[in-house]
Structure 1
Amino acid sequence: MSRPSRRTPALPEVHFSDYADVRSLHLGSIWIQGSMRLDAPDDIELEYVQRMMAWLLFVDAPSVMRRHAMQLGLGAGALTKFSRRKLRMRTTAVELNPAVVHACRGWFKLPADDARLSVIVADAAAEIRKPKWAGTVDALQVDLYDDEAAAPVLDSADFYRDCRALLTDEGCMTVNLFGRDASYVRSLEQISEAFGETAVWAFRPTREGNTVVLAQHTVSRPDRATLIARADTIQARWGLPAPKWLRVFKPVIASLD
């Protein structure tokens, strides 16, 4: 006898708001799920979203365009557009709600799929378990929130182990942790269990309360001079404020000893 199927919860309504020259995406609530500056649609507007690009500190700039980026949760498409258009990477985005994909293409200048871009409508937890993705992703960016924005929708050690299995040896995962129920410590524990404590780095929270955490597939600790040089290159080539990141970004475990 088969088990009865569970009813799929209704997906939230997608809408946008404009304030001056910034357009923001909402999922049935006042919470902002992503933003775009109308006169610079391929730039990354929000500070925490910029920090999701901190994986660039761990690779050499000339290698970036040969790598593969994957976003779990499309938001307003900022990371996807930046990876595809500015970094010129192969880019895959996984989004549960087809209305979000439609909104990004209609309101947020997300380009159509092509040889370097694929937007997949699917449950991220199921999609990333497919064997074809294992060991193929260099930059995994996880930003999975529902319309209440209370805590990440997927936030278990098993989920983060599945994320780690996606990564190449040099690959990094960045995660946006934000929630009204002070879930940061619990989330950090789950990430550390999956990746190992010495593989985890974290930013200080933004003023809005977003904390970006980075986890490496393989632990590496570039020296300060290397990080400074890479940060300067990131700012010069792609306009991201990477030198400022170094003041608010550090390993969770300060020493490997």
Structure 2
Amino acid sequence: MTKRKTVAADVALPEVTISDFDGIRYLHLGTPWVQGSMRIRKPFDIDLEYVQRMMAWLLLVDPATVPERRAMQLGLGAAAATKFCVQKLGMATTAVELNPQVIAVCRQWFKLPPDSDRLQVVQGDAGVEIQKHRYLQSVDALQVDLYDHEAAAPVLDSPDFYLHCRNLLTDDGCMTVNLFGRTNSYARSLAHIQQAFGEEAVWRFAATKEGNTVVLAQRTATRPERELLVQRADAIQQATGLPALKWLKVFKPVVPLAG
């Protein structure tokens, strides 16, 4: 049986609702669209397949260096990526979320830990926050998942926005982006990412059955040998439980456009 809880929303922001079904808790923003989820008995694992794929940057770095790195999420959702980076990977992590009620709900219902030396949750506009000098070239893993309650297309999606994202990254840093929408926005979004990062720096997954396509962009383009990717995927899978070996079947560099 589904249980639904409602949290009063701020003016001009969508109502935040929660539903529980079959051991999973879902976050909604005033519509049936799922904005995030948590397996109630395993609150620090990642439930949704596309959010798992947002961790594909792990394939492109030395696993031994991960705890020394810094993560940032733009858009908190149900805090799955944020909790995973802090609790599972041991990373210093910053999350930026516009809606204060989403932050409150994540703290109350989705096991988001309080702020600490390792975790900072910032209530604010991601497009403004990422331009602050203190973040520049300090982020190793940037995860971007910015959708409104209609989930039609990314809220922030311009070449300038992605250039600001690139400016956040360390030399070997990566950005992963969830591209999903009821409109045909994928090609436009991909072109904007390539414009900001360079065509050689962009990778993509095949779409999930729900229609989420995760795209990865590196500040400095690399093409690791497949043997190294397999080694890293195996290490990731053993350490975290993420299905990283399966990723390699559907995760490829984007072929640059001819001419």
- Decide: shared fold, TM above 0.5: yes
1:6-63 CA distances to partner (integer Å, 9 max, x unpaired)? xx97011101111110000000100000000000000000000000000000111110
CA distance in 1, matches of 2:256, 2:187: 17
The total of aligned residue pairs comes to: 249
Task: Say yes or no: does 1:38 pair with 2:40.
Answer: yes
Query: Partner of 2:25: helix, strand, or coil?
Result: strand
CA distance in 2, matches of 1:61, 1:250: 20
What does residue 59 of structure 1 align with?
61
CA distance in 2, matches of 1:182, 1:236: 37
Query: Partner of 1:32: helix, strand, or coil?
Result: coil
The percent identity for this pair of structures is 65
CA distance in 2, matches of 1:11, 1:233: 41
Task: Say yes or no: does 1:203 pair with 2:205.
Answer: yes
Of residues 165, 173, 176 in structure 2, which corresponds to 1:174? Answer: 176
What does residue 90 of structure 2 align with?
88
Letter aligned with residue 249 of structure 2: R
What does residue 5 of structure 1 align with?
none
What does residue 18 of structure 2 align with?
16
What does residue 218 of structure 1 align with?
220
CA distance in 1, matches of 2:241, 2:156: 31
Letter aligned with residue 66 of structure 1: E
Gaps of 5+ in 1: 1-7
What does residue 160 of structure 2 align with?
158
Tell me the TM-score normalised to structure 2 length. 0.94
CA distance in 1, matches of 2:241, 2:25: 20
Query: Partner of 2:35: helix, strand, or coil?
Result: strand
CA distance in 2, matches of 1:203, 1:104: 28
What does residue 4 of structure 1 align with?
none
When structure 1 is superposed on structure 2, of 133-142 and 8-17 the one drifting more is 8-17
2:199–2:256 contact (8 Å) kept in structure 1: no
Task: Say yes or no: does 1:140 pair with 2:142.
Answer: yes
What does residue 193 of structure 1 align with?
195
The Cα shift of 1:253 comes to 1.7
2:74–2:144 contact (8 Å) kept in structure 1: yes
Q: Runs of at least 4 residues of structure 1 off by over 3 A?
A: none
The Cα shift of 1:254 comes to 6.9
1:200-223 CA distances to partner (integer Å, 9 max, x unpaired)? 000000000000000000001100
Gaps of 5+ in 2: 1-9
Tell me the TM-score normalised to structure 1 length. 0.95
